[in-house]
Structure 1
Amino acid sequence: MTQQETHAQEAERRGSFSSRRVFILAAIGSAVGLGNIWRFPYVAYDNGGGAFMIPYLIALLTAGIPFLFLDYALGHRFRGSAPLSFARLRRGTEGLGWWQVGICFMIAIYYAAVIAWALRYTLFSVTEAWGDDAAGFFTGEFLQVSDPGVTAEIVPGVLVPLLIVWAAVVVVMVAGVQKGIGAVSVVFIPLLVITFGALVVRSLFLPGAADGLDALFTPDWGALAEPGVWGAAFGQIFFSLSIGFGIMITYSSYVHRDTDMTGSGLVVGFANSGFELLAGIGVFAALGFMAQAEGVAVDEVAQSGVGLAFIGFPAIISEAPWGAFIGVCFFASLVIAGLTSLVSVIEVVISAVRDKFELGRAQAAALVSIPAAVLSVLLFSSTSGLHVLDILDHFINQFGILLVAVVSMVVLAWVLKVLPLLQNHLNRNGSFRLGALWRILVSVVAPLALTYVLLDGLWNDVRTRYEDYPGWMLGVFGWGAAGLVIVFGFVAARLPWRKDTPMDVTDDEEVQA
């Protein structure tokens, strides 16, 4: 069998997206997730308002999109999952790919829980089941949150939707790249735009909406002199684009060799930021209404994350005209955005397992998804689930995703010095040509910016115990989980590849290995 036939057989075995359009929709589906809706609006508001758009745009152009191109180049050039792409580049770097796989597995088990909450709250919105006390309902009647610690007491109201989420994920993953991930993206991304667009339009007509938008967009130019504001911009761009932890490497490996990857990257990058801006408008229009209804300033009701979604918005829904409509649109948007991101996260793991071992699609999907679902149910359908999720999310984001991204950039740019190779590959069919500036951004600007964000987070967590959780919980679910994915990465890299795995992907280029 010739090398070309071997690669063709490998592509058929792994699966692929049917077109560039499907790939772009899948990449947007991965990038647009919960963080766009509940994190960006508050980060922008808390870091200079309208002035934040300047460092945000600079971060997008100097770090976000350049790093996205780097991920695309690795996956598209070396035609594999994150571990296989790194192994084909240089066998000694395979551990970086498995480190990313470990991170994705950790994210998947808790991300599914948040989607399950949003699924339940979509139904709660119809009857406003939280009554007059949204905060008490969320932590009390719904999650039945215990004191910090780990319990085995299962909450049926969380268990059932969590099982539904994992059942949906398994069906999508078994269906494959095009019939599963691609089909879901083609349907769900337009649906997300329509659903969230309806929420934004309705929010804009609420009394007080203008006050909310004024609070969000009024610029504080003095904030531009603060390093923390710039760090927040680079951190937001990095987290929101789903870069640096294997997703875009995996997705780009499913695209035809002649695809315009740089043009696709620009579409994905700007679409993601456009949705974040839309989210900011919708969320702060609603918060403006809430502030007026309560007779307080917007800063007294503005919040981020879980508090915004499951406490802030239910309070808005209870007060607003067409509250049920707003609630269904908001929580349905969370479910849709969450699911398209979750399938991309778990696909990183499934793709790596398939590449490493001789497994069919259904076998690999079951081997990965069932243990992930079991862990997810055990940890997050219990009364201690909220505490564990908060810790795991914080530490995996700060000291998992950020750290592996910085290490990967340094290794690729300064140790292996393969940026010219990757640049040439992207330029072969790219409509946006890369040059020396891209290499400087990826090798100097992005690593330095993300290192600042990483060290700032490390200093804060070393100086002050995160959210005052017990030390043993932070040790196990925080520092321990972040360390475990590193150990897993370099242990998994020691396992042998299946014998028929081609390692010499040339594609008319000489692999620098």
Structure 2
Amino acid sequence: MLNKKCATKDKQAELEERGHWASKAEFFLAVAGNVVGLGNVWRFPYLCYKNGGGAFLVPYLVFVVTCGVPLFLLETTMGQYTQQGGVTCWTKLCPLAEGIGYGGQLILLYSCMTYIIILSWALLYLAFSFSSQLPWASCNNYWNTDDCVDFSARNNTLGWTNQNVSTSAATEFWERRVLAISGGIEEIGSIRWEVMLCLIAMWITCYFCIWKGVKSTGKVVYFTATFPYVMLIILLIRGLSLPGALQGVVYYLLPEPSRLTDPQVWMEAGAQIFFSYSVGVGSLTVLGSYNTYNNNCYKDCLWLCLLNSGTSIAAGFAVFSVLGFMSHEQGIPIEEVAESGPGLAFIAYPQAVAMMPLPQLWSVCFFIMLILLGLDTQFVAMEVVMTSIIDIFPTEMRRAGRRERFLLLFCLICFFCQLVMITEGGMYVFQLFDYYACNGACILFLCVFESLALGWVFGAERLYGIIKDMTGVHANSFFKVCWLYLTPLVSLGSFICSLVKYQPLTFNRWYTYPDWAYVVGWLLAVSSILLVPGWAFYKLGTGTGSLRQRFRHLCQPDPNYSLTQNGETEPQPNREEHLRQSVC
């Protein structure tokens, strides 16, 4: 009997605590680092300019109010209340909808494999920024063609007469030196070894940022979430002091009210909100799950949403002041220098800093900001996947040393799977994953069913009682209207429009993918979507009792997390103690 008790104590000692944030600041910075990322710098400013300038803020704010903030609060509340990851939280609230959790984790897995590629490109550019002359500032390099135009030399802007033939030095450096891009996805070619070394460095960095779980993640975000703001302020001040900056800012915010009648503008505003607020994939649920039960997540969410959108608008001033400077120096319209995505980060902005005094300094500042903005988003996504898997298998995964070994295995699997993205044809594969698997229709689909499952099945009234019990604050009744009606309707409308207005992926507006590549892309998209109905049918098919009984049982929350009739929560069980007992 004594030996049995000793064995039980040994097993309890082996099981590691799930842990909490050491302070509110760690949670705030971790969430800020996750939602404030590359999309704020290279996506929002371009979308704002492209879709009506200041008028774009109207659909943007509509989606913020009806979808962004309500879903942000909803997911953070889920995590803090259940103290569970992105999958197991559904078993406590609405087991029938557990497929939403699995779908979100699959999207994050795809994101982990694509997002870090951007960081490896940025790291390579950072290394080149320490050269005596920036390699993308001239046409005197072995990779340049006869059609190259050097904008850093003032008199050479006259060479930009035939844009169909001429290419900038920054474009040739990006396409011919960094990517060595092939003619299409069919021509994979060889691995770009410099990019691979940068990729290895970024994986090692991410590994050690989160290898101890919330204990290490909470400390790292003090630097990775705050320092980009220092760089952004420096670049903003520098950008506004350049000649032509005012012209860029005017182009950025000049309202075009007529664009408000274009459905495409509203679709892109919605896509930006779902993308930049990191909703639908379980990230906020996991980050909220490390809060203490009585943390005021209601106030935190409102401040974090304000920070996210405010950063997007501020980044627009920093980016378009520089694009206005480029327009002024080159003597061409801004619409011909403004690009989105990788084009803005690795062509337009590097080209701009090459035209400034002390170009190496501004290049270093820009790419350090870019790396840190992306780094905390990347390692938080990894932490979310790790936490969700560990919470599915707690008794096996929370033993000493197992997390570190599993994290290493996860990094190695992702690394070997993404080697195809750093080949000469890898950019085509990268865009295929980014366009179909990580954004767009799949996230909208998950958000529709998430709001329906929690607003209607679990109950908006229950959610209100939970927020009141945890924070002591009565949430605004507008959120109830959003969870029940506005959020699912707006999300569903955006999902349908994204399918109706679907445009096949192209590269640089001239390369059209082969049909088999589009098939692969849609398979990547539906792989996460099908997990929602697939898991529901599986649970209904494998349960006991009649179909009606199974359905009712799967729509009921866990009794340990239920509410009393007056809306207050029942006493919460000691979850860690319960978990230890289950090990024995």
Distance 2:506 2:137 in 1: 31
- Residues 227-246 of structure 1 aligned to structure 2 (within 5 Å): 227-246=263-282
When residues 14 and 492 of structure 1 are mapped into structure 2, their CA distance, relative to the original with a 3 A threshold, is farther
Taking the aligned partners of 2:560 and 2:117, their CA distance within structure 1 comes to 39
- Give 1:486 shift: 4.0
| Among candidates 58, 62, 74, match of residue 58 of structure 1 | 62
User: Where does residue 494 of structure 2 map in the other structure?
Assistant: 453
How many angstroms does 1:401 deviate by?
Answer: 1.7
Equivalent residue for 2:561? 506
Give me the whole-angstrom Cα distance separating, in 1, the residues matched to 2:62 and 2:77: 22
Amino acid paired to 1:473: A
Who is 1:159 aligned against? 196
Q: Secondary structure at the match of 1:64?
A: helix
Deviation at 1:69, TM superposition (A): 0.6
1:320 alignment partner in structure 2: 356
In the TM superposition, residue 190 of structure 1 has moved relative to its aligned partner by 1.6
**Residue of structure 2 aligned with 1:258, choices 285, 294, 312:** 294
Counterparts of 1:347 and 1:222, CA distance in 2: 43
1:120-154: per-residue Cα shift (whole Å, max 9, x none)? 11222333122331111111111111122252511
Name the residue aligned to 2:321: 285
Q: Any idea what the Cα deviations from partners look like across 1:78-132, whole Å, max 9, x if unmatched? A: 1111110011113222221111111100000010100110111122233312233
Pick from 469, 473, 487: which aligns with 1:428? 469
Matched, 1:399 2:441: yes
Q: Distance in 2 between matches of 1:285 and 1:10?
A: 56
C-alpha displacement of 1:32 = 0.7
| Counterpart position of 1:374 | 416
Alpha-carbon separation, structure 2, partners of 1:379 and 1:182 = 33
For 2:13 and 2:294, locate their aligned partners in 1 and report how far apart those are by CA, in whole Å: 18
The residue identity in structure 2 corresponding to 1:425 is I
Give the Cα–Cα distance (whole angstroms) in 2 for the partners of residues 38 and 247 of structure 1: 21
Compare 381-390 and 450-459 and name the one that shifted more: 450-459
Residue type at the aligned position of 1:175? K
Conserved 8 A contact 1:406-1:447: yes
Distance 2:303 2:59 in 1: 20
Shift of 1:261: 0.4
**Given the alignment, which residue of 41, 51, 61 partners 1:47?**
51
Match of 1:410 among 452, 459, 465: 452
Structure 1: which amino acid aligns with 2:85? S
Q: Which AA in structure 2 matches 1:15?
A: G
Query: Matched residue of 1:243: which SS?
Result: coil
Contact between 2:224 and 2:375, CA under 8 Å: does it hold in 1? no
Q: 2:513 aligns with which of 458, 463, 469?
A: 469
Please report how far the alpha carbon of residue 327 of structure 1 lies from its aligned counterpart in structure 2 after TM superposition: 1.5
Matches within 5 A, 1:75-154: 75-127=79-131, 128-132=134-138, 133-149=169-185, 151=188, 153-154=190-191
Distance 1:11 1:211 in 2: 60
SS of residue in 1 equivalent to 2:225:
helix
- Using the alignment, how far apart are the partners of 1:399 and 1:465 within structure 2? 14
After superposition, the Cα gap between the structure-2 partners of 1:106 and 1:465, relative to the gap in structure 1 and judged at 3 Å, is closer
Note if 1:176 corresponds to 2:180: no
- What SS does the aligned partner of 1:13 have? coil
What's the TM-score, normalizing by structure 2? 0.80
Distance between the aligned counterparts of 1:364 and 1:36, measured in 2?
32
134 and 93 in structure 1: CA distance in 2 versus 1, 3 angstrom threshold: same
Structure 1 residues 304 and 176: CA distance shift in structure 2, 3 A: same
User: Could you tell me which amino acid in structure 2 is paired with residue 101 of structure 1?
Assistant: Q
**Contact 2:99 2:532 (8 Å CA) reproduced:** yes
8 A Cα contact 1:125 1:317, kept in partner: no
**Equivalent residue of 1:277, what SS?**
helix
Offset at 1:382? Answer: 1.2
Match for 1:186: what amino acid?
A: Y
* 2:524 partner amino acid: A
Question: Are 1:410 and 1:447, in contact at CA under 8 Å, matched by a contact in 2?
Answer: yes
Judge conservation of contact 2:100–2:531 (CA < 8 Å) in 1.
no
Kindly state the Cα deviation for residue 465 of structure 1 after the two structures are TM-superposed: 5.7
Which has the larger displacement, 434-443 or 256-265? 434-443
Q: 1:483 to 1:227 in 2, by over 3 A?
A: closer
Query: Which residue does 2:525 correspond to in 1?
Result: 482
Match of 2:239 among 203, 206, 216: 203
Match of 2:4 in 1: none
User: Partner of 1:39: helix, strand, or coil?
Assistant: helix
Residue in 2 that maps onto 1:5:
none
**Alpha-carbon deviations, 1:362-418, whole Å to 9, x = none?**
133223222112212x2222112111111111112013222211222222223x142
Cα deviation digits, residues 208-238 of structure 1 (max 9, x gap): 1111001111212222333333332222122
Q: 1:299 to 1:438 in 2, by over 3 A?
A: same
- Tell me the distance in 1 between the aligned counterparts of 2:535 and 2:209: 26
Higher-Rg member (1/2): 2
The answer on whether the counterparts of 1:262 and 1:433 sit within 8 Å (CA) in structure 2 is no
Q: 2:484 matched to 1:440?
A: no
Q: CA deviation at 1:491?
A: 7.5
Change (3 A) 1:140 1:505: farther
User: 1: CA distance between counterparts of 2:478 and 2:416?
Assistant: 46
- Please say if 1:271 is aligned against 2:271: no
Which range moved further: 401-410 or 72-81? Answer: 401-410
Alignment-mate amino acid for residue 470 of structure 1: P
Superposed displacement of residue 433, structure 1: 3.1
Task: Check the 8 A contact 1:77/1:422 in 2, yes or no.
Answer: no
Partner residue in 1 for 2:78:
74
Query: CA 1:444 to 1:103, structure 2 compared with 1: closer, same or farther past 3 Å?
Result: same
Are residue 193 (structure 1) and residue 229 (structure 2) matched? yes
- How far apart are the structure 2 equivalents of 1:284 and 1:506? 49
SS in 2 for 1:14: coil
| 8 Å Cα contact 1:73-1:423 kept in structure 2 | no
Q: Tell me, in whole angstroms, the C-alpha distance in 2 between the residues paired with 1:173 and 1:315.
A: 35
Contact 2:94 2:453 in 1 (8 A): no
Flag structure 1 segments of 5+ consecutive residues without an equivalent: 1-7, 497-501
Write the letter of the residue equivalent to 2:496: L
Question: Measured at CA, do residues 91 and 431 of structure 1 come closer, stay the same or move farther in structure 2, by a change above 3 Å?
Answer: closer
Q: Which amino acid aligns with 1:67?
A: L
Q: Distance in 2 between matches of 1:322 and 1:11?
A: 54
Alignment-mate amino acid for residue 98 of structure 1: Y
Number of residues of Structure 1 aligned to a counterpart in Structure 2 = 495
TM-score, normalised with respect to structure 1: 0.90
Q: Percent identity?
A: 30
Kindly tell me: are residues 374 and 504 of structure 1, through their superposed partners in 2, closer, same or farther at Cα, counting changes over 3 Å?
A: farther
Match of 1:337 among 373, 383, 391: 373
